[in-house]
Amino acid sequence: MSPLTRLYLAFSLVSEPIWRVLHHKRLKKGKEDPARISEKYGTAPRDRPPGTVLWFHALSVGESLALLPLVDRALEDEDTTVVITTSTATSITALEKAGLPERAIHVLLPIDTAKAVRRFLDHWTPRVAVFAELDFWPRLMIETHRRQIPMILVNSRMSSESFASRRKLRGMMRDILRLFDRLVIQDRESASRFQELGASADKITVAGALKAAARPLQADQAELRMLKARIGSRPVWLAAATRDIEEAAMIRAHGEITKTVPNALLIIAPRFLESADDIETVAQGEFTHVARRSRGDQPEDATQIYIADTIGEMGLWYRIAPISFVGHSLGPEGKPLGGKNPYEAAALRSAILHGPSVTDFSETYQGLQVAGAAVLVQDEAQLAENVLRLFNKSQRAPILKAADDVIKARRGVLDVTWAAIEKAL
């Protein structure tokens, strides 16, 4: 065990007071759920059910939703319960709206102290622990391994930026990676990086992105019917999961679009809800009629931009908009963003547009590009041009067909990932 890991474990024995101060501040700012904060100290929200418990962990919303097909597969065994842990308050709302299946229990991940972790593991006694992507907590993982609970890493990739930062913690990374019984990695480049950090090559399987097999995002059907009735036959496009440095470009592009199609509607669903005030200010500088979801506004005939600043409703917007620009991908030159998951749009038959900055999903977007299932735009002018083109249903049809084919071809990743878990069982 590396000196850094030993130092971290020693710190985890005495760090609970620091966590309590941090959580007190976050509670005052509304960033934690007071009714559930005790879960972060290992207190279970309910009794452990009888039978087998499988434990799945993901950091937040996107990662946890990608695990749901695996949860469904696990629950085919009627004697099994799945505990899903996440680390963020936003994931609480998102998983509630996603509709967890019966016998799936959402719990907030315990803080990485010896006391909280042991309390969590003592209560749930999971048969297998499945960790998604790269949310590593040394005390949690070492305690899990000490109890001889098989550990599987799934749907993981490592960008060049993440690799560079984790190389500085090489000893600790080696200690953690060697705990896993199996690592199911998204792409070969990431697999090489995991090996360089200490993972055993014979434990690694390259399977692709699990998000390709994720179930379509849920939507309230009554709300969907109401919104569709309000919008009617107006041309609609969506700017999804956008960052603050690209949202003004979305609004300017819409200005160009409305010169040709005056009744077009732009829905902006930002990645970070706190940016909604700034979006509204910029939009009101360009347009007369701007509405905002969080205030209870509904899209009217005159609405030009609708700011969808709510949690867990992306399933609505992808169903309403036949064209989606998937954000985190069109930042200013020199400010790479990394991209966001395009499969959510594809699964709901919304034609995908994206910018060039997609390094976090490079393999995913490359596959979509080769198949003709997504359209790359270099700037806001190309964005406006392609939105106008894709308002034509016949122009969208081949893109949607290609996206369907890509998703079907990649669903095998679910079988490969489940096989690794099943072997551990």
The CATH number that applies at residue 305 is 3.40.50.2000
Which of 59-63, 147-151, 194-198, 241-245 has the lowest average pLDDT? 59-63
Where residue 174 sits, what CATH number does that domain have? 3.40.50.11720
Number of domains the chain contains: 2
What distance in Å separates the CA atoms of residue 325 and residue 345, rounded to the nearest whole number? 9
> Residue 25 is which amino acid?
K
185 and 37 co-located in one domain: yes
378 and 303 co-located in one domain: yes
179 and 80 co-located in one domain: yes
Task: Judge whether residue 364 has pLDDT over 90.
Answer: no
145 and 84 co-located in one domain: yes
159 and 259 co-located in one domain: no
Domain end, chosen from 206, 239, 273, is at 206
What distance in Å separates the CA atoms of residue 333 and residue 338, rounded to the nearest whole number? 13
- For the stretch 80-89, pLDDT in tens is 999 999 988 8
Residue 418 maps to a domain: no
Phi/psi region, residue 103 (left: phi>0; alpha: psi -120 to 50; beta: rest), is left
Residue 107 pLDDT class (50, 70, 90 cuts): very high
Residue 421 maps to a domain: no
Burial 293-320 (b: 16+ CB within 10 A, else e): beeeeebeeebbbbbbbbbbbbbbbbbb
Residue 88 maps to a domain: yes
Residue 13 in 3-state DSSP? coil
Q: Whole-model pTM?
A: 0.79
Give the gyration radius of the chain's Cα atoms.
22
Q: List the 374-376 sheet strands across, edge first.
A: 290-292, 305-307, 265-270, 236-242, 323-326, 351-354, 374-376
- Expressed as residue numbers, the domain containing 282 is 221-410
Paired strand residues for 292: 307
Q: How many residues does the chain have?
A: 425
| Encoded tokens for 115 | 């006391």
Q: What is the mean pLDDT of the chain?
A: 94
Residue 212 maps to a domain: no
* Secondary structure element (H or E) that encloses residue 204, with its range: strand 204-206
Give the residue ranges of DSSP H helices in 202-266.
221-231, 244-260
Paired strand residues for 154: 132
Residue 50 maps to a domain: yes
Domain end, chosen from 140, 175, 206, is at 206
Q: What is the mean pLDDT of residues 32-44?
A: 94
Q: How far apart are the first and last CA of the chain?
A: 27
Q: Tell me what percent of the chain is helix, strand and coil, each rounded to the nearest 5.
A: 50, 15, 35
Residue 46 maps to a domain: yes
Residue 420 maps to a domain: no
Instruction: Answer yes or no: are the C-beta atoms of 248 and 275 closer than 8 Å.
Output: no
| Encoded tokens for 11 | 């710190």
What distance in Å separates the CA atoms of residue 179 and residue 175, rounded to the nearest whole number? 7
* Secondary structure element (H or E) that encloses residue 175, with its range: helix 170-177
166 and 295 co-located in one domain: no
Give the residue ranges of DSSP H helices in 244-379.
244-260, 276-286, 314-320, 343-347, 362-371
What distance in Å separates the CA atoms of residue 252 and residue 140, rounded to the nearest whole number? 47
66 and 11 co-located in one domain: yes
Q: What angle do CA 341, 101, 66 make, to 5 degrees?
A: 15
Residue 337 in 3-state DSSP? coil
Instruction: Answer yes or no: are the C-beta atoms of 350 and 318 closer than 8 Å.
Output: yes
Q: What is the mean pLDDT of residues 4-28?
A: 95
Domain end, chosen from 179, 206, 233, is at 206
198 and 263 co-located in one domain: no
Paired strand residues for 56: 84, 130
Residue 130 pLDDT class (50, 70, 90 cuts): very high
Residue 334 pLDDT class (50, 70, 90 cuts): low
239 and 115 co-located in one domain: no
Paired strand residues for 376: 354
Residue 211 maps to a domain: no
What distance in Å separates the CA atoms of residue 160 and residue 174, rounded to the nearest whole number? 18
Task: Judge whether residue 139 has pLDDT over 80.
Answer: yes
